[in-house]
Amino acid sequence: KQEVTQIPAALSVPEGENLVLNCSFTDSAIYNLQWFRQDPGKGLTSLLLIQSSQREQTSGRLNASLDKSSGRSTLYIAASQPGDSATYLCAVRNFGNEKLTFGTGTRLTIIP
Amino acid sequence: SAVISQKPSRDICQRGTSLTIQCQVDSQVTMMFWYRQQPGQSLTLIATANQGSEATYESGFVIDKFPISRPNLTFSTLTVSNMSPEDSSIYLCSVVAPGGYEQYFGPGTRLTVT
């Protein structure tokens, strides 16, 4: 059974700093991994999708990496802004299954 | 991509009643997914809905409690039956965009049961 963990559970950093969010998963036979952002009381916004054959994906100030062998992914946010404050979730899809298994989330606060 | 809408956006319901949540997608999709997010928790898959067949439920979720309809390729409903305060959650529907791999989510329905 796939289990996904995110550390830390909460993170506060001053505006302008670069930061890294971590995601680990127990079953390395993944099809893809997706990072989402969730604002309080809202739905999920897809940030980046990494296929199992890829090592990283970039979108603007965001960069996500994937290391299947170690069961880890990181989301790097450059030059953080107050608008980046949200909960960040990673989710894994295994082969043969369209279901996503979600991590526990990291609540990020950017301090102006 | 896929644009998903849900109705209602929020509701407050009394214990013992039922609520039906609607999910509409702007494109035809094979599978639609229903997730639950309990307060302070991450998302848990309730069931997968295919058009023209019975929904597939995850462990811990049953059809009598969460009946699902999927009348066509762009629409689905989830009913939360005989509600109790423990059903207070955000309910989200989700799809994989046609021809793609990325999963998209609706804005969610925030349910409070009193």
Note the pLDDT tens digit of each residue in B5-28: 999 999 999 999 999 999 999 999
Per-residue pLDDT of chain A (112 residues; tens, 9 = 90+): 899 999 999 999 999 999 999 999 999 999 999 999 999 888 899 999 999 999 999 999 999 999 999 999 999 999 999 999 999 999 999 988 888 999 999 999 999 9
- Name the amino acid, one letter, at A103: G
Q: What is the Cα–Cα distance from A87 to B53, expressed in whole angstroms?
A: 35
Q: Is A98 in Cβ contact with B48 (below 8 Å)?
A: yes
Q: What is the Cα–Cα distance from A109 to A11, expressed in whole angstroms?
A: 6
- Name the amino acid, one letter, at A74: T
Question: pLDDT-based confidence at B104, cuts 50/70/90?
Answer: very high
Query: Which chain A residues have any C-beta within 8 angstroms of a chain B C-beta?
Result: 31-32, 34, 36, 41-46, 49, 51, 89, 91, 93, 98-100, 102-105
Nearest to B42 among A31, A43, A103 (CB): A103
Chain B interface, best mutation among A99, A101, A106, by max B CB count within 10 A:
A99
Q: Mean pLDDT across the stretch B52-72?
A: 93
